[in-house]
Structure 1
Amino acid sequence: MPDAGPIAVLPHRPLTVGELLDSAVLLLRAQARVLVPIAVVLAAAEQFLVLQPLRLAAGTVPPIWWLSDGSFATYWLLLTTGAATEAMIIMLLGNPAARAGAAALLGRTARPGEVLHLAGGRWGGTVLFALVVGGLMSVAAFCGPLWFAGFALLGAVAPALVVDRVPLHRVLPRAGALATRSGMRAGMIRLLGYLGWWILRVGLASGTILGLTQLGLVDDYWAIPVALLVWTAVNGIAYPALACLDAVLHLETRIRTEGLDILLARAPAGTPEPALLAAER
């Protein structure tokens, strides 16, 4: 695999699905020291403060938290809440990931302070839309199959806000429009990325927990705390990876459908970076 340099992360051309997934991993490698610690903190809050009380009420058991003897209604609430919290975390991580992806497209690696800087970061809008996305995903998950549509359509919310810099009232329509272009290519790739990371998360978490149990390293008293820590660690990698996928997928979709690479090549020298990538010129 090539070094995580800016050109390797996102070339100025349409990419294949495999190249997009590789680009997301390269972007994560380049920004791991920023994204992973934030993701671990958010994932820990999700596991310990939000989901675990619902798991206890629903009667689920680790490592995969299947329903055992509890209430199905509470279990369904657990699933919808989990769908909302993970969407919110990916959305929050999408802000620095999108800024890092934009810098990579322009031929440089963003510094840690740059992707977290408050000035120009539209963090207020990011928090607002994290709540909106969480609400939409909870409703979609409650309805079952609608989760797939919701997850496919909302991947570009953070990049549309931070990179495209569209007005707040246009963020959701912009995200939906980008997701549905070229036969819903971006939306389907986002679902593919989620499926891949879901399989990895379940495999790594369940394998680690069951392995520790079989070796006698974890007794019944520590089973739940260890399971929560393992899921926190696994999600601490998966969530920023999905945010990076959203970032590179958004920029690649603009290259593919809007000719962003051509616009960048024709831009006058000295044009500020936000103006270079803004959707409205």
Structure 2
Amino acid sequence: MSAQPDLPLRPMTLGELLDAAMTLLRARARPLLLTAGVLAVLEQALLMPMRAAAIATPPVYGPAKQHFGAWWVLVAAGFAAEGFIICVLGAIAAAAAGPALLGRPLRDRDVWKRVRPVPTLLAAVAFGAVCGVAAFVGFAGWVFVYGVFGLVSAVIVIDRSGSFGRAARLAMRGGMRGAWTRLAAYVTWFAVRMALGAGWVAVLAWLTGDRPEWLAWTAPAAWAAANTVAYAALACVDGVLLLETRIRTEGLDIAISRARSRGQDEAAVLVYAP
């Protein structure tokens, strides 16, 4: 049994929320990083032939001359893949976040029992596809889609609702605070991903000389490792953010306190009752 984190039962600042997400990730590293690692490797396997077709140069995989169209398709596919992966991982993080908020012990293997795989996978496929299309037609659309609808897997697991509309309403409350929080976390971890996925590989390539055959494998491996951590962290942001938004706007903390004082099941309060 791993250590059970206690998430704050109160509204949080952005910094506190990101810290709480990392606390959740450290406590549930095994299920989150294991799943994230497998999916990140599969993502790289999917993108490698597309990178070759687009003549994208590692480790950054920027556009090549006269191949911009193929590179743009590659970028859209990358956004679709990461949207799918973060959505899947969001369900695992949400399964751990509920008990963490209530201070209840939970074994890592029991996290899987709380995940709703069928609705989660359906939502992840839909979310990933829309992220890919939105990125392809223009990044303004992706910003909206990722920020507004990305809480759907956390909604499925914690609220026990499969509604993209519910996810959007939560994200848009308080001047779209949830959406901006997701985007801020994404930008933060994008910088980390660039450093881990491309930075050290570029430095090593500079030190050892130009070795394209070497970069062809080390760069995807570096990106897979960087994305493993980043995707798991972003998923934990979703789990914590949903609970924090409900505390801030729905009085979830008050409902939990009342259930405790009355000797009622606190977990039942987490289920959204419209």
TM-score range (shorter-chain normalised) is over 0.9
What's the counterpart of residue 6 of structure 1? Answer: 5
The yes-or-no answer on 1:131 pairing with 2:125 is yes
* Counterpart secondary structure, 2:104: coil
Q: Is the 2:127–2:150 Cα contact (8 Å) retained in structure 1?
A: no
**Does the residue aligned with 2:208 lie in a helix, a strand or coil?**
coil
The separation in 1 between residues aligned to 2:14 and 2:48, in whole angstroms, is 36
For structure 2, the 5+ residue unaligned runs are none
Which sits farther off after the overlay, 67-76 or 121-130? Answer: 67-76
- Partner residue in 2 for 1:225: 217
Q: Give the structure 1 partner of residue 244 of structure 2.
A: 252
Q: Deviations over 1:74-113 (max 9, x none)?
A: 1111111111100100011111100111110011343211
Aligned partner letter, 2:219: A
Deviation at 1:126, TM superposition (A): 0.6
Deviation of 1:155 (Å): 2.3
SS of the aligned residue for 2:159 comes to coil
d(CA) in 1 for partners of 2:52, 2:203: 23
**1:225, CA displacement in angstroms?**
0.5
Q: 2:30 matched to which residue of 1? A: 33
- Of stretches 253-262 and 128-137 in structure 1, the one that deviates more from structure 2 is 128-137
Aligned length, in residue pairs: 269
The whole-number CA distance in structure 2 between the counterparts of 1:70 and 1:248 is 44
Letter in 2 for 1:72: F
User: What TM-score do the two structures reach when normalised by structure 2?
Assistant: 0.94
Q: Deviations over 1:231-270 (max 9, x none)?
A: 0000010000000001101100000000000011111424
Distance 1:38 1:240 in 2: 9
Gaps of 5+ in 1: none
Q: Which moved further from structure 2: 216-225 or 98-107?
A: 216-225
From 29, 32, 51, the equivalent of 1:55 is 51
Aligned to 1:207: 199
Q: Does the C-alpha gap of structure 1 residues 230 and 269 become closer, same or farther in structure 2, counting only changes over 3 Å?
A: same
Percent identity of the aligned residues?
A: 43
1:183 maps to what in 2? 175
The amino acid of 1:127's aligned partner reads L
Hey, what's the Cα distance between the residues in 2 that align with 1:61 and 1:188? 32
Q: Which amino acid counterpart does residue 150 of structure 1 have in structure 2?
A: V
Say whether 1:158 aligns with 2:153. Answer: yes
2:21 match: 24
Once the two structures are superposed, the pairs formed by residues 102-141 of structure 1 within 5 Å of their partners are: 102-117=98-113, 121-141=115-135
Verify the 8 A CA contact 1:57 1:70 in the aligned structure 2. no
CA distance, structure 2, for counterparts of residue 44 and residue 217 of structure 1: 26
91, 94, 98: which one aligns with 2:90: 94
Cα RMSD, aligned residues only: 1.6
How many Å apart are 1:33 and its aligned residue? 1.4
Q: Distance in 1 between matches of 2:27 and 2:224?
A: 21
2: CA distance, partners of 1:226 / 1:149: 33
Distance 1:278 1:271 in 2: 11
Which of 142, 149, 156 is residue 144 of structure 2 equivalent to? 149
Q: Distance in 2 between matches of 1:139 and 1:278?
A: 32
The residue number in structure 1 matching 2:184 is: 192
8 Å CA contact retained: 1:100, 1:109: no
Judge which range, 90-99 or 70-79, deviates more: 70-79
Name the counterpart of 2:77: 81
| Distance change >3 Å, CA 229–CA 218, structure 1 → 2 | farther
Q: Distance in 2 between matches of 1:207 and 1:272?
A: 46
Change (3 A) 1:73 1:206: same
Cα contact 2:24–2:236 (8 A) shared by 1 = yes
CA contact (8 A) 1:152 1:187 kept: yes
1:215 positional shift: 3.0
Contact 1:212 1:218 in 2 (8 A): no
The reply on whether 1:46 has 2:38 as its aligned counterpart is no
